[in-house]
Structure 1
Amino acid sequence: MIRKFRGDNYYDAGGGRDLAEGRLVPGRCANLGSGLLALLNAFPQNAAARRLSAGSFAFKLAGAIVILPFASLLARGLPVLITNPREAVVGFHVIYNLVRCCACLALVDRVAAISRRLLPDRAVTTGELRPLYLDPAGLVTPSLALASASREVLRIGDIVRVMLDNVSDLLRRNDLTVARETMRMDDDVDQLYAEVKSYLTLISREQLDEAESRRWTDIISLTINLEHAGDIIERIVSDIEEKKISQRLAFSEQGLGELDDLHARLVSNLRLGLSVFLNNDLRCAEQLLAEKERFRDLERAYSHKHLDRLAGHSMRTMEISALHLDLIGNMKRLNSLFCSTAYPVLDAAGALHDTRLRRRSLDTLHVKE
């Protein structure tokens, strides 16, 4: 352990007040060292792991910078409150970490945004993206082959999510590099889609029982929907490049807020849809279908609000307005694709008919009102 030396002596366990003074600084240094080690270990991992470690290290570094100038003062004051030197050191560390955590809570969102900007998700850009989980040896065991295909489909879902994150960035910034990279990522989706489809055709359907046959259908359906989603996102980004980036236009503050709301719901529904696909959870499937209806209502409301704002605006505003309405429509199509995983789960549980009846009843009440 790093030790703090004074001009006279370094005091050990029985050294009273100087024990606290001798261990406050080394404790912070050890804390920084552990954070740095975690950061170094995270570099070979994905971008999310690197962001998490970088944010943690940033908070530890900020805490150390704030507390170090007051180390001597705290070391002299702690024994007044806690006479046992060991308890004083422990008490300091507990209080320090508690205060640091509370102080950092307000900065979590801002630090997360900065870390995402500095360490963005990026798909493989060199060479052809290859499947990771489609093991040919697993084809002799249908359950294993289906599990492998499911993992690869979830990987496609991760790429689609990154593409959506880039769309959020492009709504704010006219970044041609991000736009081109996002459109290129659709090639990755297409490649993995073809690989999964080819792998599934190699599974002998005669060997599948009823549950495995349903799972096979669920996998190929989600794969097709994610491939369609990649195409839609590519079209969205192409429109943004043509109508916004090249013209150096920007959305209005109110319009951007509406698009942000729909985008956040879209990402949430993608994650929920993938979770439903993975776990076949009935409650989550019902929630997903409810979110689909909520998204449809918001799409309609935001379209009407946007049209109401158009009166008296210039032709330049009309150009960005057309893009705005196209984005809302394409987001609705994406949401329908992401929410489609709910239907097989509801159908298997016999709840799909009841859910549709409830929805029709609500629609009827809405019309009457």
Structure 2
Amino acid sequence: MNYVSIIIPFVGGLGMFIYGMQIMAQGLENAAGSKMKTLLEALTKNKFFGVLLGAFITAVIQSSSATTVMVVGFVNAGIMNLTQAMGVIMGANIGTTVTGWLVSSVEWAKFLSPGNLAPIAIMLGVIVMLTGTRRSTKDVSSIIIGFGLLFVGITTMSSAVSPLQDSEGFRNIFVTLGHNPFLGIIAGAVVTAVIQSSSASVGILQSLAAAGLVPFNAAVYIIMGQNIGTCVTAIMSSIGAKKTAKTAAVMHLLFNIIGTVLFSIVAIVFFKVIYPNAGGGVITQTEISTVHTIFNIGTTVLLFPVSDLIIKLAKKLEKEDEREVDESKVLLDDRMLETPGIALQSTVSEVVRMGNIVRATLDKSKRVMFTKDYQEILDIKEEESTVDRLCSGITDYVIKISSLSINEKEHQHVASLLQIISDIERISDYCENISEFAETLQIRKAEFSETGTAEMREMIDVCTDSYIYAIEAFAENSKEKAMKVIEKESQADDLEIRLRAEHMKRLASNQCNTDAGIVYLDALVCLERISDHSRNIAEEVLTVAV
């Protein structure tokens, strides 16, 4: 038998299958981007919503490995806790069964046979791609073309291995895997770990099943092994991450190992004791999909009630430590770039965190102008350095998102985020300037007049309120609060003109210390600029539908 003529087409078919999965997943992901952001917010509710989210995302991106890698990234970034991560991991195992059902549809829906459907799907997708002009149309074409290529790939693999039906040695390999559960599980785990996709691994198994090569019992053990092999990607991605992120990867491994052990015991009892003859029969593609689905849903149902114990065990194995997070570290992870819609939402959360740091700095600035507390002056300068580092890191991450395949609405969102990040950083700069003015007053032992102090407090309150409304408007996507920012900014402009004129009169009549007078005027400028940048943030909220 010429094995080269089998291996080359099989490898080519596998490549086309994986490429088709990726194209289809990219189109689905772009089309569902906004829904993913909404679903991410549901994570804050409970673990059950996490299961639903994990299943949905995995069904979209066609890879439980990729979903779990993103979960590791979320945990590493502090966006998701371990309880939420556990829910998504359980859901990811369910979502990964979708590809298997697509492949097996050629058996239970004859009109979907690859020979008929694949060429039609690819041609239809190409026509849509060439004639469509909108981004959403391009996404639809990607879904259709990817669907077609996936079927072409599975057909090529099945055709390539069909000569092996006459190979007694090849058949004996699978018979051995069926009789030895441990070897079957190892085989499934190794193949999945190598290609790093349980969906593709199941596709390979289904192509062999289509050629009538796989006994039922061997397929069951291989499928369970595939679920262990898919953990390798997440474990590799956790290298260099925080302890908590590594714990999430260990949770994934424990969940799948426990599920495999439980169902292996059931399978061994069934095939060895209850119904020995069942294991030797040849399995079909649809039956593989059924076993895969029952195993993943069954594992989730069984382990969901005790998932907290799995989390505790993972913490013990990883010896997780809950250390305080360095505020200057950007809590965004490249793993999340696998799904741009969620990466954007995560970036919004990080920008809000940066904005709240500046909010606290602004509160200190309100006090320090009058208390001249040296420790608070130092704190403001340190916080400004923190914001500078955050600004640089978040900006770099947003630029990475902009280079991905995202739709027009998401491109607008990216541009808006870059502007808002810049505005927040500039407000932080002005807070530092105010701390320097306070330091000048302290060094020169200068004081504002009683009237000047009252006016300065009034100006600070207006500008501070403007910024607080701006950050809340951005965090909540509230147009109502954005409009309040614009009102406050107009009030600050009028106030700055009036206070400047009245202060000049006091200076002219020697009612105010000269050193304090210069600081007063400079502080007015800084505060007015803070309100200007707050307005910029509000206008982004009003113009970009997030």
**Is the contact made by 2:369 and 2:434 (CA closer than 8 Å) also made in structure 1?**
no
Partner of 2:437: 239
Q: TM-score, normalised by structure 1?
A: 0.56
Q: Which residue of structure 1 aligns with residue 416 of structure 2?
A: 218
Partner of 1:287: 484
Q: Show CA shifts across 1:315-350 (max 9, x none).
A: x8011001001100110111101111222344458x
1:30 maps to none
SS at match of 1:246: helix
Letter aligned with residue 406 of structure 2 = L
* Residues 51-90 of structure 1 mapped to structure 2, 5 A cutoff: none
Alignment of 1:115-194 (within 5 A): 129-132=328-331, 134-194=332-392
Residues 310 and 282 from structure 1, CA distance in 2 versus in 1: closer, same or farther, beyond 3 angstroms?
A: same
Identify the residue that residue 517 of structure 2 maps to in structure 1. Answer: 321
Q: Which has the larger radius of gyration?
A: 2
Counterparts of 1:203-352 in structure 2 under 5 Å? Answer: 203-242=401-440, 244-313=441-510, 317-347=513-543
- Do 1:128 and 1:188's aligned partners in 2 also have CA atoms closer than 8 Å? yes
Percent sequence identity is 25
Deviations 1:33-79, CA, capped at 9 Å, x for gaps: xxxxxxxxxxxxxxxxxxxxxxxxxxxxxxxxxxxxxxxxxxxxxxx
Task: Give SS of 2:444's match.
Answer: coil
| Preserved CA contact (<8 Å) 2:402 2:411 | no
Contact 1:263-1:331 within 8 A present in 2 as well: yes
Q: Deviations over 1:104-129 (max 9, x none)?
A: xxxxxxxxxxxxxxxxxxxxx99772
Residue 276 (structure 1) shift = 2.1
1:175 partner amino acid:
D
2:535 alignment partner AA:
C
Match of 1:53? none
Q: Contact between 1:205 and 1:213, CA under 8 Å: does it hold in 2?
A: no
Query: Is the CA contact 1:171–1:251 (under 8 Å) kept in the aligned structure 2?
Result: no
Distance 1:164 1:176, change over 3 A: same
Is the CA contact 2:488–2:531 (under 8 Å) kept in the aligned structure 1?
no
Could you tell me how far 1:253 is from its partner in structure 2? 1.8
1:204–1:166 Cα change, 3 Å: closer
Answer whether contact 2:336 2:342 (CA < 8 A) is retained. Answer: yes
Pick closer, same or farther for the CA change 1:182–1:241 going to 2, 3 Å.
same
Change (3 A) 1:344 1:170: closer
Query: Equivalents in 1 of 2:385, 2:541: separation in Å?
Result: 30
CA RMSD in angstroms, aligned pairs only: 2.4
Deviations 1:96-150 (A, max 9, x none): xxxxxxxxxxxxxxxxxxxxxxxxxxxxx99772123x13221111111111111
The separation in 2 between residues aligned to 1:211 and 1:221, in whole angstroms, is 16
Distance 1:270 1:280 in 2: 15
CA spacing shift, 1:320–1:126, aligned 2, 3 Å: farther
Say if 2:465 and 2:488, in contact at 8 Å, map to a contact too: no
Distance in 2 (CA, whole Å) between partners of 1:190 and 1:221 is: 15
Q: Distance in 2 between matches of 1:268 and 1:256?
A: 18
Rounded to whole Å, the distance in 2 between the matches of 1:185 and 1:283 is: 30
Please list every run of 5 or more consecutive structure 1 residues that lacks an aligned counterpart in the other structure: 1-124, 350-369
* Unpaired segments ≥5 residues, structure 2: 1-323
| Separation of aligned partners in 2, 1:205 and 1:272 | 31
What is the TM-score when the length of structure 2 is the normalising length? 0.39
Residue 294 of structure 1 aligns with an amino acid whose one-letter code is Q
Q: How far apart are 1:311 and its partner, in Å? A: 2.9
Letter in 1 for 2:328: L
Alignment equivalent of 1:199, drawn from 385, 391, 397: 397
The aligned counterpart of 2:147 is: none
